Every structure is written in C-alpha cells, then in structure tokens.
C-alpha cells in the first residue's frame, strides 16, 4: 500500500469513528436499543483470513503442524496435526498446541478500535468441527498482556455445520494456560482479539469457520431478559427488562 493510500485509509477510519460517536450521542437511547447481532468476522475471502495470525509449537521447536486457509466454499479452515511429544533438549514441559488469533484492527486518529459487545449476551460461531475439543480465546485491554478469557468449544454434531453460542459471562480468566484463582469479569466493551486453539490432543484436527458474531436472542439484551408486557407479546408496546443474575450471585 502506498503512503497516500495508507493515509486515506487512516483518515477514512477516523471519519467513520466520528460519525459513529455522533450517531450514538444523538440517539441518547443507545444503551437500551436492542440489536440482533454485531458482526465481528466474516471469513469468506482470503483478505478476511489475513485478519488472523497462525501459530503452533513448531514455532519454538515442537513437531506439530498447523495451517489456516481459504476453502472453495468461501470459509476459513484451521487444520493440521498435533504432536504432544516434547523434543529432546527442550526447556518446555509440554508440547502439542496450535491456534489462530485475530490481529489488532488498524488504529484511527482518535482510538484503537475494539469490539463493544456489552449489549449482547452470546459469542456465536458458525463452524464445522471434528470431535476434538477446542478453545475460544478473548483478550481485552487488560494491564496484564497474558490475561485471556477462555471457553471450551465442542461440536454437538461433528462434521456438520452448526452455530455454537457461548454466553460471554461464562468465559473464564486464564493466564499462560492456567485458570486464575481470582477471577475478573470479561470487559465486553473492549474486546481486542478473538482466537481459537487446540492443545494436548495427538493427531489430525480440522475446524472450518464461516463467521463470528456477538448476538442476542429475541428475549435477551446483553445480560438482561426481555419480558413481554401485560398487553401481550403480539401488541406493539415497549418491553421491560429484569436484571439477569451475574455468575456467582
């Protein structure tokens, strides 16, 4: 990309940010406005896949193989072969992992773009997976770079397309792969990276991805439940809300 094109892209991103902030300010009711979903990644092109980086234990001397590519069906395919054998002379106790992680989105004049999923209850992933266990990994603007909020991804119908929906409040805080004793709630307003990984399972693996979104159902607005009014759900009337109990309460 030329210097001129790069500058135009930078200024366009900054202008879009100003427009969005102005729109939010004018609405005044942005907090309570129901939205079905927040598209995060649509993995339907080579360019879309370039938003992610790939890594595995082979980067530090391990013997696993991992690949990330575009399919003829216009989806992203994360596949390879894990080898949990620790190479001789390695300073590491464990081996056998692979993962993909989204890159930070290009910054603007005013901010570093983040996904604000505070008004959505679930992270939804349309995928076709094998029977292995994967992990979904989220990172925010934490003061500790190693902090990662994690949840298992296990296909209910291996080999078939399905939409996996994970409540944001069910993600667990980890650091360097270890669950933390003192749990901190995921800051949904500043999601920086989204990733998927697999570890310590010898053999071939395959995970095909179509899209990743933050979503609500017709009865949710973030962690609040939308209840029908006394006048009936079929009448056009404003819904009211109840607080959804937080985990551990």
pLDDT digits (tens, 9 = 90+) for 109-131: 766 899 999 999 999 999 999 99
Tokens of 153: 């991804």
Give the mean model confidence (pLDDT) for residues 174-180. 94
Q: Please report the pLDDT score of residue 32 as a whole number.
A: 56
- Convert 33-43 to b/e letters by CB count within 10 Å (16 or more is b): eeeeebebbbb
Identify the CA nearest to 101 among candidates 132, 59, 63, 157. 59
Alpha-helical runs (H) found in 46-205: 46-49
Q: Does residue 242 carry a pLDDT above 90?
A: no
What is the chain's mean pLDDT, rounded? 84
Separation of alpha carbons 18 and 41, rounded Å: 22
Separation of alpha carbons 128 and 108, rounded Å: 35
Q: Does residue 17 carry a pLDDT above 60?
A: no
Q: Considering the entire predicted model, what is its pTM?
A: 0.80
Q: Does residue 206 carry a pLDDT above 80?
A: yes
């Amino acid at each position: 990309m030329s210097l001129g094109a790069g500058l135009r892209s930078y200024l366009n991103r900054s202008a879009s940010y100003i427009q969005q902030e102005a729109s939010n300010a004018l609405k005044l009711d942005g907090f309570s406005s129901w939205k079905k979903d927040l598209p995060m990644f649509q993995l339907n092109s080579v360019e879309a896949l370039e938003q992610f980086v790939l890594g595995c234990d082979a980067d530090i001397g391990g013997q696993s193989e991992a690949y990330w590519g575009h399919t003829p069906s216009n989806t992203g395919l994360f596949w390879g072969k894990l080898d949990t054998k620790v190479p001789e002379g390695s300073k590491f106790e464990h081996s056998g992992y692979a993962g993909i992680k989204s890159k930070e989105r290009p910054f603007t004049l005013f901010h570093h773009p983040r996904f604000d999923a505070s008004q959505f209850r679930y992270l939804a992933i349309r995928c076709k997976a094998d029977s292995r266990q994967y992990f979904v990994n989220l990172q925010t603007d934490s003061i500790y770079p190693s902090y990662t909020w994690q949840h298992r991804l296990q296909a209910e119908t291996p080999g078939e397309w399905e939409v996996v929906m994970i409540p944001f409040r069910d993600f667990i805080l980890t650091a360097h792969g270890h669950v933390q004793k003192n749990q901190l709630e995921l800051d949904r307003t500043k999601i920086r990276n989204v990733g998927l990984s697999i570890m310590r399972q010898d053999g071939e693996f395959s995970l095909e991805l179509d899209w990743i979104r933050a979503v609500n159902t017709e009865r949710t607005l973030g962690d609040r439940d939308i209840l029908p009014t006394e006048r009936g759900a079929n009448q056009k009337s404003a819904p009211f809300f109840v607080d959804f109990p937080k985990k551990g309460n």
